[in-house]
Structure 1
Amino acid sequence: MKTRLLRVLVYLASAAAGLILADLFVGGFRISWLNWWGFLVAIVVFAVVQSIATPVAIRVARRHAPLLLGGIGIIATFVSLLVVAVLPSAGVRITTVGAWFLAPLVVWIVSAIATWALTVVLIDRPARALSVRKR
Structure 2
Amino acid sequence: MVRLLIKIAIFLGSAALGLWITSLLVRDFTLHLAGFLVAVVVFAIVQLVVDWIVRRFLRQNGPAVTAVAGVIAAFAALLIASLFPDGIVITTIVGWVFATLIVWIVTGVITWLAERFLLPKASRERRRS
- Paired position in structure 2 for 1:75: 72
Contact (CA 8 Å) 2:11, 2:48: kept in 1 or not?
Answer: no
TM-score, normalization: structure 2? 0.78
**1:40-79 Cα distance to aligned partner (Å, 9 max, x none):** 11111111123334528x96x8xxxxxx824111011101
- Tell me, yes or no, if the aligned pair for 1:53 and 1:79 is still in contact at 8 Å: no
Name the Cα RMSD after superposition.
Answer: 2.5
Aligned to 1:52: 49
Q: Which residue of 2 aligns with 1:120?
A: 116
2: distance between equivalents of 1:87 and 1:53? 20
Alpha-carbon contact 2:8-2:48 (below 8 Å) kept: no
The residue aligned with 1:108 is 104
The aligned counterpart of 1:43 is 40
Residue 30 of structure 1 aligns to a residue in which SS?
Answer: strand
User: With structure 1 as the length reference, what TM-score do the two structures score?
Assistant: 0.75
1:119 to partner: Cα distance: 1.5
In 1, Cα distance between the equivalents of 2:83 and 2:11? 22
Whole-angstrom CA distance in 1 between matches of 2:2 and 2:68: 31
Per-residue CA deviation, residues 7-40 of structure 1 (Å, 9 max, x unaligned), is 110111011111011000011101112x1xx211
1:17 pairs with 2:13: no
**CA distance in structure 1 between the partners assigned to 2:14 and 2:50 by the alignment:** 17
* Total equivalences in the alignment: 116
Contact 1:14/1:110 (<8 A) preserved: yes
Unaligned residue ranges in structure 1 (runs of 5+): 62-67, 129-135
Distance in 2 separating the partners of 1:53 and 1:83: 13
Identity level (%): 39
Larger CA Rg, structure 1 vs 2: 1
